[in-house]
C-alpha cells in the first residue's frame, strides 16, 4: 500500500471540507479537479477519502473548513485532524509504524512535504524556516522557548525576548541553546549538523558529553556522545531559503540527494558518476531544468524509467 505525503493528505481534506460546505462556486469545483489531476498522489488521497466514507462524514461537521487553519490552537480538533490524515496517508495499514522517523513526525505541530518550504513567525517575533520534508514541534512557556526538530532541516533567527527566556532547539542527538543568533540545524540520521551565521550556539549532547560553544562563522556535527571539531560555515547551505540549490564543487551523489527532497517521485544517481563534481545555481522548484543543466555540464544522461523514476547515469 502506497504511503502518502501528509501535506498532500491535508490538502485533500481541505478540498473535501470546502466542497462539503455546499457553498462552492463552479470555479472552486474546477480548481479542485485541476488539483486532483496535478499529481497521482493528489488523486490517490482523494480516493482514500472516498473509501473512508462514514468516518470522514462523522468528523467533518465538527471541524468545518474555517477550523482547518485554526486547528493548531484547539487540541481536540488537532488530534481529530491528525488521526484522519494519518489514516489516509498510511492507507489503513501499518505503513507509519515502519516509517524511518516513526510516528512522531506525522504528529508534529508543523510539517512540510516534498518540495515544500515554509517560513513562520515565532510567538516572540523570531522566524523559523523549514526546508522540504521537515517536522517540528514548538513549545513556548513562561520559562523557556523550545523548538523540537523531529525530521529535516530548519534555519532559525532568534528575537530578543522581554521575558529573557532561554531559546532551545532539541534533536535526537542533543540540545542547542541559542545565544542571540542565526543558525541552521539538520538531522542526518545518527548525526546532527549545526552551522552558525550570527551569535553563537551552545551544544549539549544527549548522553551528557561536554558542552561546546560554536561561534559565528563555524559549523560542526554532533551525536549523542559528543561534538566534532568545527569547520568554516558554508554560506551556500542556506540557499534553499531562497528557492535555489547552490553547489560548489559538490559531489553529484550529494547534489542528487538534495534535489530529490524537492521533487515528487524517485531521483537516483548511478554510483559510477556519484563522485563527479558540479558547481552552479539550480532552481529547486524547476528540477527538470536543473537535471538538464547537469546533463549539459557533466558526462551524464538523465534516464527516465517513468516520469516519477529518474536516474542520473553515465552518458
pLDDT greater than 70 at residue 53: no
Query: Which range (36-40, 90-94, 302-306) has the least confidence?
Result: 90-94
Q: For residue 308, what pLDDT band results from cuts at 50, 70 and 90?
A: confident
For the ranges 95-109, 209-223, 227-241, 285-299, which has the lowest average pLDDT?
95-109
> What does the buried/exposed string (b/e) look like for 135-144 if buried means 16 or more CB atoms within 10 Å of the residue's CB?
bbbbebeeee
Q: What is the pTM of this model?
A: 0.71
* Distance of alpha carbon 4 from alpha carbon 6, whole angstroms: 6
| Rounded-to-integer distance, Cα 212 and Cα 125, Å | 27
Task: Determine which of 20-29, 85-94, 207-216 has the lowest per-residue pLDDT on average.
Answer: 85-94
Q: What mean pLDDT is predicted for residues 201-212? A: 92
Mean pLDDT of the chain: 83
With a cut of 80, say whether residue 194 has pLDDT above it: yes
Query: Cα 284 vs. chain centroid, distance in angstroms?
Result: 14
Question: Where do the domains of the chain lie?
Answer: 6-107, 111-235, 243-314
CA 101-107-108 angle, 5° bins: 85
Highest-confidence range of 51-60, 88-97, 194-203, 306-315, by mean pLDDT? 194-203
- Average pLDDT (37-43) is 86
Adjacent-strand bridge partners of 168: 146, 177
Confidence of residue 264 (pLDDT cuts 50, 70, 90): confident
At 64, the pLDDT band (50, 70, 90 cuts) reads very low
Task: Supply the pLDDT for residue 52.
Answer: 62
CA distance 119 to 147: 14
CB atoms inside a 10 Å sphere around CB 204: 19
Per-residue confidence band for 43, with pLDDT thresholds at 50, 70 and 90: confident
State residue 25's pLDDT score. Answer: 76
The cell for 14 is: 481541505
> What band does 197 get if pLDDT is binned at 50, 70 and 90?
very high
Looking at per-residue confidence, does 255 or 76 come out higher?
A: 255
- Give the mean pLDDT of 181-200: 96
Each residue's pLDDT tens digit, 269-288: 999 999 999 999 999 999 99
**Do 111-235 and 243-314 agree at the fold level?**
no
Gap between the Cα atoms of 48 and 153, Å rounded: 30
Please give the pLDDT value at position 263: 87
Q: Is 253 left (phi over 0), alpha (psi -120 to 50) or beta?
A: alpha
Residue 256 reports pLDDT greater than 90: yes
Query: What CATH code would you report for 243-314?
Result: 3.55.50.30
SS (H, E, C) 261-301: CCCCCEEEECCCCCCCEEEEEEECCCHHHHHHHHHHHCCEE
Give the pLDDT band of residue 73 (cuts 50, 70, 90): very low
> Distance between CA atoms of 178 and 67, rounded to whole angstroms?
34
pLDDT at 60: 44
What are the tens digits of pLDDT across the range 16-36?
767 765 666 777 788 888 888
d(Cα 77, Cα 59) in Å, to the nearest integer? 9
What residues have CB less than 8 Å from 252, skipping those under 6 apart? 269, 273, 274, 275, 276, 277, 278, 294, 298, 300, 312
User: What is the CATH architecture of 111-235?
Assistant: Sandwich (2.60)
Q: Name the percent of the chain in helix, strand, coil, to the closest 5.
A: 35, 35, 30
Give residue 109's pLDDT.
80
For residue 62, what pLDDT is reported? 41
Residue 84 in this model has a pLDDT that exceeds 80? no
Q: Given the DSSP bridges, would you call strands 218-222 and 244-251 parallel, antiparallel or unpaired? A: unpaired
Burial class (CB in 10 A: 0-12, 13-18, 19+), 210: exposed
Amino acid at each position: 500500500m502506497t504511503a502518502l505525503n501528509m501535506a498532500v493528505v491535508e490538502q485533500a481534506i481541505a478540498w473535501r471540507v470546502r466542497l462539503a460546505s455546499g457553498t462552492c462556486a463552479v470555479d472552486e469545483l474546477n480548481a479542485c479537479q485541476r488539483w486532483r489531476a496535478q499529481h497521482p498522489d493528489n488523486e490517490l488521497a482523494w480516493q482514500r477519502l472516498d473509501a473512508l466514507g462514514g468516518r470522514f462524514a462523522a468528523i467533518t461537521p465538527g471541524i468545518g473548513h474555517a477550523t482547518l487553519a485554526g486547528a493548531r490552537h484547539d487540541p481536540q480538533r488537532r488530534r481529530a485532524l491528525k488521526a484522519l490524515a494519518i489514516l489516509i496517508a498510511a492507507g489503513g495499514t501499518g505503513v507509519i509504524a515502519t516509517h524511518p522517523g516513526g510516528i512522531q513526525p506525522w504528529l508534529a505541530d508543523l510539517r512540510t512535504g516534498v518540495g515544500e518550504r515554509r517560513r513562520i513567525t515565532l510567538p516572540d517575533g523570531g522566524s523559523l524556516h523549514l526546508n522540504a520534508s521537515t517536522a517540528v514541534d514548538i513549545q513556548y512557556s513562561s520559562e523557556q522557548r523550545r523548538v523540537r526538530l523531529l525530521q529535516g532541516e530548519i534555519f532559525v533567527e532568534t528575537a530578543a525576548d522581554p521575558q529573557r527566556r532561554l531559546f532551545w532547539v532539541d534533536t535526537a542527538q542533543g540540545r542547542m541553546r541559542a545565544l542571540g543568533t542565526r543558525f541552521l540545524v539538520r538531522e542526518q540520521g545518527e548525526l546532527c549538523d549545526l552551522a552558525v551565521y550570527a551569535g553563537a550556539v551552545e551544544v549539549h549532547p544527549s548522553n551528557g558529553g561536554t558542552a561546546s560553544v560554536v561561534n559565528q562563522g563555524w559549523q560542526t556535527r554532533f551525536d549523542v556522545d559528543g561534538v566534532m571539531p568545527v569547520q568554516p560555515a558554508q554560506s551556500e547551505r542556506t540557499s534553499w531559503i531562497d528557492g535555489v540549490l547552490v553547489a560548489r564543487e559538490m559531489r553529484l551523489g550529494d547534489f542528487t540527494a538534495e534535489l530529490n527532497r524537492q521533487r515528487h517521485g524517485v531521483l537516483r544517481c548511478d554510483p559510477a558518476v556519484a563522485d563527479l563534481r558540479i558547481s552552479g545555481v539550480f532552481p529547486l522548484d524547476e528540477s527538470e531544468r536543473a537535471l538538464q543543466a547537469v546533463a549539459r555540464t557533466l558526462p551524464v544522461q538523465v534516464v527516465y524509467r517513468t516520469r516519477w523514476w529518474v536516474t542520473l547515469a553515465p552518458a
